[in-house]
Amino acid sequence: MIKPIKISAFGSYLPEKVSSSDLEMKYGLPLGWSEKYSGVKSRHHVTFESNGYMGAKAADQALENAGLNLSDVSLLISASGTYDYPIPNQASVIKAQMKDGISANTPAIDIDSTCLSFVTAFEIAANLFDNKNYKHILIVCSEISSKAINPSNWETLTLFGDAAVAVLVSYDESLKSHYIKGGQKTYSEGVHEAMIEGGGNKNFFKEYSYSPELHSFKMNGRQLLRLAHQKIPDFMAWFFKDSGYLLSDLDAIIPHQASKTGNAVFSQLYDLEPGVIKSNLADRGNCIAASIPLALMEAIAIGEIKRGDVCLISGTSAGFSIGGVLFKY
């Protein structure tokens, strides 16, 4: 059942650009390794910024672009896999650093499905809109991956980037823009294939002091790729079954920018028109939950996605999950 939801504005914040050659020289990798194996030419890494700082900048910019104030927003959702503090939740930290963060009492909640957090938040927002209690929802994905990277793991070292994106979604009763369908499946046989093992209650700081191995992101790339190849057809068949659309009908597919090989799975599995699948991996890296909204924003900015286009945002995430939302922009 279609639901009234319109993307009314974007905002973003990118910290300092780091080229692959800078990274390769700094950590002693062969020049060209990053682009060849990770597919990333440059990405952005924080210097002084926090998740809250970047998220607030992106959020304020989205509101400015929409000509709205925070007090017009019914709900602020932080949809991210990384955070400034274990407590409080990240949305509270972002809100407190926004221009009207103290004067407005907008509720601030977090949604986390790791790399799919934006997709999940978009689906939940579409279900909340009622033109009464919920008119505008601001979804903020602010991700810092660069701190939890083990420099001796070249794949993750060169793959990940930092970024914040804010997406203002609004109730639009014209239904010109609308939500068509959303869904996720969690395939738990892959739960251990992408993790940060230390830093929560399981390997608590008090007993496990910092080590790049324990406190950095680890992924079993080969196994994740195998899972993606195996499960994506199952997921897509289920997802499109009663959607009223075929994959080949879509104007744009904005996948999570998981990795060079991960991004290739979709085009290997499906015979799609050139240009339908959007990617910003080469210039941004994998920005966790910020990847999808950033690629969407950038494709709209250069005119590759226009109002009325039918778009699929979809991807895999640590956990291991596959999810997607189909919508008319």
Q: What is the CA radius of gyration of the chain?
A: 19
Q: Are strands 321-328 and 194-196 parallel, antiparallel or unpaired?
A: unpaired
Question: Which of 28, 67, 86, 303 forms a contact with a second copy (CB under 8 A)?
Answer: 86
Among 89, 153, 223, 267, binds a second copy (CB under 8 A): 89
> Does residue 255 touch a second copy according to CB under 8 A?
no
The set of residues, in sequence order, having a beta carbon less than 8 Å from that of 242 and lying 6+ positions away, is none
- Count of residues touching a second copy (by CB under 8 A): 73
- 293 touches a second copy by CB under 8 A: no
Of 3 and 278, which has the nearer Cβ to a second copy?
3
DSSP-derived secondary structure letter, 168: E
Taking the least distance from each CB to a second copy, the nearer of 174 and 209 is: 209
Closest to a second copy by CB, 143 vs 298, is 143
Site for a second copy in 156-195 (CB under 8 A): 183-189, 191, 194-195
Residues 63-82 that bind a second copy (CB under 8 A): 76, 81-82
Which of positions 193-212 make contact with a second copy (CB under 8 A)?
A: 194-202, 204-206, 209-210, 212
Of the two residues 91 and 290, which places its CB atom closer to a second copy in the complex? 91
CB 122 within 8 Å of CB 313: yes
Residue with tokens 């997607």: 324
Beta strands in 220-309 (DSSP E): 252-255
Please list, in sequence order, all residues whose beta carbon lies within 8 angstroms of the beta carbon of residue 159, skipping any fewer than 6 positions away. 38, 40, 259, 285, 286
Binding mask 100-139 for a second copy (x = CB under 8 A): -xx--xxxxxxxxxx-----x---x--xx-x-xx------
Comparing CB distances to a second copy, the nearer of 183 and 264 is 183
* Rounded-to-integer distance, Cα 232 and Cα 235, Å: 5
144 binds a second copy, rule: CB under 8 A:
yes
Shortest CB 174 distance to a second copy, Å: 22
Tell whether residue 319 is a contact of a second copy (CB under 8 A): yes
DSSP state of 29: P
Beta bridge partners of 139: 77, 167
Identity of the residue, 162 or 298, whose beta carbon is nearer to a second copy in the bound complex: 162
Instruction: Give the shortest CB-209-to-a second copy separation in angstroms.
Output: 6
**324 near a second copy (CB under 8 A):** no
Closest CA to 147 of 224, 199, 200: 199
Tokens of 93: 């930290």
Task: Assess 241 for contact with a second copy (CB under 8 A).
Answer: no
Q: Least distance (Å) from a second copy to the CB of residue 274?
A: 32
Pick from 307, 155, 308, 282: nearest CA to 295: 282
Q: Which of residues 9-48 bind a second copy (CB under 8 A)?
A: none
Find where tokens 């289920």 sit.
238
C-alpha distance across the termini of the chain, in Å: 16
